[in-house]
Amino acid sequence: MTHDHDLVLRPTQAQIAAALNPPAGRNGGDLVVETLAALGATTVFGLPGQHALGMFDALRRSDLRYIGLRVENNAGFAADAYGRITGEAAPLLLSTGPGALTSLAALQEAAAASAPVLAISSQVPTAGLGGGRHGYVHELPDQAASFRGVVKSVHTVRTQSQIPSAIEAAWKSALTAPHGPVWVEIPQDVLLAETSIPVVTGGDAFPEELPPRPELTAVAADLLSRAARPAIIAGGGVVRADASGKLRQLAEALQAPVVTTPGGKGAFPWKHPLSLQSWIEDRHTTDFLEDADVLLVVGSGLGELSSNYHTFKPRGRVIQIEADLGKLESNHPALGIHADARPALQALLETVTEREDPGAGERVREVLAKVADRIAAQELTLEQAVLASVRRALPADSPSFWDMTILAYWAWSAFDAKGPNHMHSAQGAGGLGYGFPAALGAAVADPTRPVLAVSGDGGALYSIAELATARQYDLNVTWLIVDDGGYGILREYMTDAFGEATAAATELTRPDYAALAESFGVPGVRTTPETLEADLAKALSEPGPSVVVLPAVLRMFAPTHLTR
């Protein structure tokens, strides 16, 4: 009897001949790029360095497209966005020591947001591995130790024959739910040495599936079918699993109102009668969710930003579907279902009983009206007008990438993403400098649509060097910089907490951003709140990079978690 796993594809005579006579002049770096191409990669990001030159030399002999950024952290953000937009593992080529370590903040964001990034770093020569001190430039006692607490998996290569299998294993790790960054490191001498290993022509690029346990979805379906007041929280896992359509079908079958987290923006239609939108940082929304007798949480760990800063205390039964095992019941007792959102929602769709609830839509409208009244009472017309101008100027199918800035904090709650996988921010790890380099990565992934980046002036200073990248590759990214003279949100936090801000820490000397952009050959314009929509729409409609600078001091809406 022959089993499927016993079958082996026989190579052709041509493949055998090619394997026996590999091209001359190849090195370990060729094995890296050949493996990436065999797995389906078309584009790599990175920054060269002394120990990594074997990989970069091999790029000359490959068909891979290389996008070089100016700072490793920014290259990591670009790869992160490429992975989010395409759903593919985004290769990130780095050098040893300082080059590798500079990417850590970007890899933390990729881990928090489950973005599939395949980081491949060089290492000191193999003689320097193992923790001894040999005095190699860039040497660390244990480079991989710096990444183990950040990435999903670490793969250290010591010989050329290990390269294809290590990269393939890392690729599958990055793309197995939950997606995330992975780390491969290869010594300099292994990359540089000539190789007689045959050209890599194939690889298993298919990640492991993560289906739900059927006994758990059966219980969940029964609870939801019999619920009197069901509700749904949709997180980023719904977007990453491409499960928005299934979420909508389930919500309509159950007549269950849906709120999306900041990471789940666009997972549910903004104007749908059952949409509570994204006002999860609002006490009225939190009260509504606490009143649900059965709450379905899909693709969210209910962390700080998704639980109104841990003030959310559900009173009903919680069902949590989550691909990251460590997040199951990490904040609230629940019927925990370890699964990717798409197969789990499909299982529920096949087993729930549809329920009628004519009043569900009215209850949603009541909550949204209370939220609107609360915001209207705070005299925040400038902030709402600026956000509305951005929404009108941005084409409905264009993605946007937001730095940690006050306008982004507004967008988490009040911005209609117009669809799944359209709005992304650094809310996973919360670091500065994400918006612009991430938008560059998205523009590389899909050059047919303009991409918007939004930063404050403080965050923009992290990414100025990438104006050169935008110009070099002529990427269709418009960068909106809201210039309020410093770290605006930290200024607010300090003033609220201590009565005043430490000016030396929050106030910044800034360049003329429009003139600085022009010096890179990137069109720059200063705008006003009144002309923002027209200026931003014009910039987005023209090919290539552009910068729009809005001098404005924006304020946050009052939090609701501090009084609970």
Mention every residue, 6+ apart, whose C-beta is less than 8 A from residue 438.
77, 78, 80, 81, 401, 424, 426, 453
Q: What is the pLDDT of residues 400-417, one digit of tens each?
A: 999 999 999 999 999 999
User: Are 120 and 95 spatial neighbours (Cβ–Cβ below 8 Å)?
Assistant: no
Q: How far apart are the first and last CA of the chain?
A: 66
Element (H, E) at 294: strand 294-298
Q: What is the pLDDT of residues 206-219, one digit of tens each?
A: 888 899 999 999 99
How far apart are the C-alpha atoms of 436 and 453, rounded to whole Å? Answer: 5
Q: What is the pLDDT of residue 128?
A: 80
What value does the mean pLDDT take over residues 272-290?
A: 95
How far apart are the C-alpha atoms of 172 and 153, rounded to whole Å? Answer: 10
**Sorting pLDDT into bands at 50, 70 and 90, what band is 19?**
low
Q: Tell me, what amino acid is at 321?
A: I
**Sorting pLDDT into bands at 50, 70 and 90, what band is 3?**
very low
- Sheet with 90-94, strands from edge to edge, namely 65-68, 43-46, 90-94, 117-123, 182-187, 154-156
What value does the mean pLDDT take over residues 95-108?
A: 97
In terms of Cα–Cα distance, which of 261, 32, 16 is closest to 168? 32
What value does the mean pLDDT take over residues 123-144?
A: 85
pLDDT: which is higher, 39 or 2: 39
Q: What is the pLDDT of residues 312-340, one digit of tens each?
A: 899 999 999 999 999 999 999 999 999 99
CB atoms near residue 208 (< 10 Å): 9
**Alpha-carbon dihedral angle through residues 257, 259, 265, 270, given to the nearest 10 degrees:** 50
Q: Is the pLDDT of residue 38 over 50?
A: yes
Q: pTM of the entire structure?
A: 0.95
Q: What is the pLDDT of residue 15?
A: 56
pLDDT: which is higher, 8 or 462: 462
How far apart are the C-alpha atoms of 35 and 168, rounded to whole Å? Answer: 7
